[in-house]
Amino acid sequence: MGKGRVEAFTDGVVAIIITIMVLELKVPHGEDVHALLPLWPIFFSYVLSFINVGIYWNNMHNMFHTVQRVDGRVLWANLNLLFWLSLMPVTTAFVGENHFAPVPVAVYGIDLALCAVAYAILVVMLRRLHGPGTTFAKAVGQDRKGKISLALYLAGVALTFISQWIGIALYVFVAMIWFVPDKRFERLIEKA
């Protein structure tokens, strides 16, 4: 079974998720600069989620590059990941509209953690299908970066109940280790 249509469908769903999040940026009432200020929490959470969804698209793009075939399990593991990503617009709006209150920040982190779990399941399904020693298995490796991200998300959720700003800082930190093209970062993680 070819991977082309899975990639096309995934691209479509991710393109829609990343775009409809902007629908939460409601047009401000009023026509002066002060009308824009109350939008900052929604704008900040939109930026963070745009980057997070962008990171997933980048990672899926790179991973599927070395994928040779897909089966039913992979299709469903992929749909599972798309499901948790599809909740991102809702959890983002929940955070933004409540000005980073602890429960919304924790819910947002749980969604990020479930995306990370779904991504790990997808990797497992693809590794099982391709077998050890294949280009795919070598390219993915131990996926330490993914495991560390998951741990940091869960830490973020827990520490949100001390202060939500710790949680947000951890989510931003995870985004940075994926986003910043810094080789030293990557070596540090591989040594961990």
Task: List interacting residues with its own copies (CB under 8 A).
Answer: 1-2, 5-9, 11-20, 22-25, 27-28, 30-33, 35-36, 47, 50, 54, 57-58, 61-62, 65, 72-73, 75-76, 79, 82-83, 86-87, 89-90, 93-94, 97-98, 101-104, 107, 179, 181
Q: Print the SS3 string covering the chain.
A: CCCHHHHHHHHHHHHHHHHHHHHHCCCCCCCCHHHCHHHHHHHHHHHHHHHHHHHHHHHHHHHHHCCCCCCHHHHHHHHHHHHHHHCHHHHHHHHHHCCCCHHHHHHHHHHHHHHHHHHHHHHHHHHHHHCCCCHHHHHHCCCHHHHHHHHHHHHHHHHCCCCHHHHHHHHHHHHHHHHCCCHHHHHHHHHC
In angstroms, what is the minimal distance from the CB of 18 to its own copies? Answer: 7
Nearer to its own copies, 82 or 123 (CB): 82
Nearer to its own copies, 161 or 173 (CB): 161
In angstroms, what is the minimal distance from the CB of 51 to its own copies? Answer: 8
In angstroms, what is the minimal distance from the CB of 191 to its own copies? Answer: 21
Nearer to its own copies, 19 or 173 (CB): 19
Nearer to its own copies, 63 or 151 (CB): 63
